[in-house]
């Protein structure tokens, strides 16, 4: 069971920055019985400031100021994980800033660390799937969706929508083979139909026992 200190930390951060991509509260279940130290005031401040900067970056998409906001957020998060490397949410947020800045290998490493600390962390799986897309690692992006669909359909739908958006940006581009894009377009359409057809069988975001 998570400690009251960690719940308070996560809840306070969410109240400070209720973003669509905001870091969720940790799982109610915890395999470790060891007590967790309460995050320091400095940790909380770094995290909250980073979230605000990430929101600024999202609001400024397409402008030079966006990169500056993400870079500033990355610096704060790098400081945070150096101080408190046990916070999965901080690693996930760091991966977000790295991905937005085009540092995909670094982002994957951060998501991997978040998932080591918090196995099955849905936001990290979704963000990692987006990174795979931008690295043209299509099969791994597909697998990320399938993993999410089996555990959290709401966030799986977010990744599927990102795939649709990414496909639009690739039309006319030469970075990815046309046959690969056609295959992915068909796959996205099929997965969308499956999600729609099975929506009545499970609540959005609830665990599903099949793919």
The number of folded domains in the chain is 2
Backbone angles phi, psi at 204, to 5 degrees: -60, 130
- What pLDDT score was predicted for residue 174? 62
3 plus 95 within the same structural domain:
yes
157 plus 89 within the same structural domain:
no
81 plus 150 within the same structural domain:
no
5 plus 85 within the same structural domain:
yes
Of 77, 104, 119, the one marking the end of a domain is 119
- What pLDDT score was predicted for residue 69? 96
Higher pLDDT, 3 or 151: 151
| CA 132/CA 130 separation, integer angstroms | 5
Of 102, 119, 136, the one marking the end of a domain is 119
Of 92, 119, 146, the one marking the end of a domain is 119
| CA 2/CA 58 separation, integer angstroms | 31
Taking all residues of the chain, what is their mean pLDDT, rounded to a whole number? 80
43 plus 112 within the same structural domain:
yes
192 plus 204 within the same structural domain:
yes
84 plus 143 within the same structural domain:
no
Residue 77 near residue 48, CB atoms below 8 Å: no
Question: What's the CA dihedral at 47, 48, 54, 58 to 10 degrees?
Answer: 150
- What pLDDT score was predicted for residue 171? 75
pLDDT of residue 20 exceeding 80, the answer is no
| CA 168/CA 124 separation, integer angstroms | 24
CATH of the domain at 15: 1.25.40.10
133 plus 60 within the same structural domain:
no
191 plus 147 within the same structural domain:
yes
pLDDT digits (tens, 9 = 90+) for 65-122: 999 999 999 999 999 999 999 999 999 999 999 999 999 999 999 999 999 999 999 9
Higher pLDDT, 15 or 154: 154
pLDDT digits (tens, 9 = 90+) for 183-211: 999 999 999 999 888 876 655 444 443 33
pLDDT digits (tens, 9 = 90+) for 169-188: 887 766 778 888 999 999 99
Which helix or strand (DSSP H or E) is residue 127 part of? helix 122-134
Q: Which domain range does residue 8 map to?
A: 1-119
- What pLDDT score was predicted for residue 28? 28
78 plus 129 within the same structural domain:
no
111 plus 126 within the same structural domain:
no
130 plus 181 within the same structural domain:
yes
């Amino acid at each position: 069971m998570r400690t009251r200190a960690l719940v308070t930390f996560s809840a306070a951060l969410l109240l400070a920055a209720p973003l669509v991509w905001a870091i969720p509260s940790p799982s109610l279940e915890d395999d470790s019985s060891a007590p967790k130290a309460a995050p320091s005031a400095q940790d909380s401040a770094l995290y909250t400031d980073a979230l605000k900067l990430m929101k600024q970056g999202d609001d400024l998409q397409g402008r030079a100021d966006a990169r500056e906001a993400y870079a500033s957020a990355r610096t704060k998060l790098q400081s945070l994980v150096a101080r408190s490397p046990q916070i999965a949410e901080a690693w996930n947020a760091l991966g977000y800033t790295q991905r937005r800045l085009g540092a995909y290998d670094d982002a994957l490493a951060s998501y991997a660390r978040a998932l080591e600390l918090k196995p099955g962390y849905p936001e990290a799986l979704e963000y990692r799937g987006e990174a795979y897309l931008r690295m043209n690692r299509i099969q791994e992006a597909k697998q990320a969706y399938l993993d999410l669909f089996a555990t959290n359909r709401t966030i799986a739908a977010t990744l599927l929508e990102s795939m649709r958006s990414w496909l639009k940006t690739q039309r006319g581009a030469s970075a990815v083979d046309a046959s690969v894009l056609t295959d992915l377009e068909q796959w996205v359409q099929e997965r969308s139909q499956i999600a729609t057809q099975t929506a009545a069988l499970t609540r959005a975001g609830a665990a599903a026992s099949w793919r």
